[in-house]
Amino acid sequence: MKVPVNITVNGRSYQRDVEPRQLLVHFIRDLGGLTGTKVGCDTSQCGSCTVLLDGVAVKSCSCLAVQADGAAVTTIEGLAEQGTLHPLQEAFWDKHGLQCGFCTPGMILASHELLRHNPDPSDADIRHGLEGNLCRCTGYQNIVRAVRHAADALAEK
C-alpha cells in the first residue's frame, strides 16, 4: 500500500505516492535527475547520502521518505545559488578536497552542518566533525583544508 507524501526538494515540491519502506535517499534519486546524493553503504556508515532536512544534515539512507513528509530537503544540487557556487563548493575545488568525487556531495553537506554549529572550527574540530563521513581517496587532509578555507570565506561574507 502506497502512502502520499509531499516533500520539497531544493525549493520545489514533489507529491508522490511511496511505499512506506522507501528510503529518503531513493525517493530523492528517483525524482529524475537528482542523483548527486550517493549511496555508498547499507549500514549508515559512509555519509555519502548526507542531505539537509529542514536545514539539518541527515544521512538520507537512514530516514524513510514518509518521515520527510512535509519537510524541505536540500541536496548538493540545491546548494549553489543562482549559478554561484556555495563557498564550501568553491573551497573543495580550490583545496583539491576531492578525487573521485563520490563522497563529495555528502562531505560538503556534512561540512555545512559542521560550520553551522561551529563557524570557526580548528582542524581537530573539523576532523572530529567529519567522522561520520568516509572518503577513501583523499586521506581527508585536503578536505580539512577545504572546510577551514570555507569557514574563512564565510566569515568574510
Partner 1 sequence: MATRLFGSGIRRREDPRLITGSATYTDDLTLPGMVHAAMLRSPHAHATVGTIDISRAQASPGVLAVYTGKDTSDGLQPMPCAWLVPDADLKVATYPCIATDTVRYVGDIVAVVVAEDPYQAYDALDLIDVEYTALPAVTNPAEAAGDGAPQVHADVDKNQAFHWAVSGGDVDAAFKDAEVVVKERIIQQRLIPNAMEPRAALAEYDQASGDLTLWNTTQNPHILRFLNSVVTGVPEDRARIIAPEVGGGFGSKIPAYPGEFITVFCAKQLGRPVKWNETRSENYQATTHGRDHVQEIELAAKKDGTITGLRCTVWAGMGAYLSTAAPGIPTILHGLMLPACYGIPAIKEDVYGVYTNTTPVEAYRGAGRPEATFMVERMVDRLAGEIGMDPADVRKKNLIPAFDDGHDTVTGLTYDSGDYPTALDKLLSHADYARLRAEQATARKSGRYIGLGLSTYVEMCGLGPSQVAGAIGFQGGLWESAIVRVHPTGKVHVFIGTSPHGQGEETTFAQIVADEIGVGADDVKVIHGDTDTTPMGWGTYGSRTTAVGGAALAKAARKVRDKAKVIAAHLLEAAVEDMEFADGKYSVKGSPDKAKSLAEVALMANVAWNMPANVEAGLEASTFYDPPNFTFPFGAHLAVVEVDKATGQVDLKRYVAIDDCGPQINPVIVEGQVHGGVVQGIGQALWEQAVYDDSGQLVTGSMLDYALPRAGRLPEIEVLSTVTPSPHHPLGVKGIGEAGTIASTVAVYNAVMDALGPLGVETIDMPFTPERVWRAIQQATKGH
Interaction site with partner 1 (CB under 8 A)? 19, 21-22, 29, 32, 34-43, 45-46, 48, 75-77, 79-80, 85, 89, 92-94, 96, 98-105, 108, 123-124, 126-128, 130-131, 133-144
Beta strands per DSSP E along the chain: 3-9, 12-18, 50-53, 56-59, 72-74
Q: Which is nearer to ligand FES, 103 or 114 (CB)?
A: 103
CB 106 within 8 A of CB 133: yes
- In the complex, minimum distance from the CB of residue 139 to ligand FES, in angstroms, rounded to a whole number: 9
Q: Is 62 exposed, middle or buried (0-12, 13-18, 19+ CB in 10 A)?
A: middle
Rg (CA), the chain: 15
118 binds ligand FES, rule: CB under 6 A: no
Could you say which of 103, 110, 130, 144 contacts ligand FES (CB under 6 A)?
A: 103
The three three-digit cell numbers of residue 62, written as one number: 537512514
138 binds ligand FES, rule: CB under 6 A: yes
96 binds ligand FES, rule: CB under 6 A: no
The residue range among 8-16, 34-42, 111-119, 147-155 that interacts with ligand FES, by the rule CB under 6 A, is 34-42
Length of the chain in terms of residues written: 157
Name the DSSP class of 22. -
Residues that bind ligand FES (CB under 6 A): 39-41, 44-49, 59, 61, 98-104, 135-138
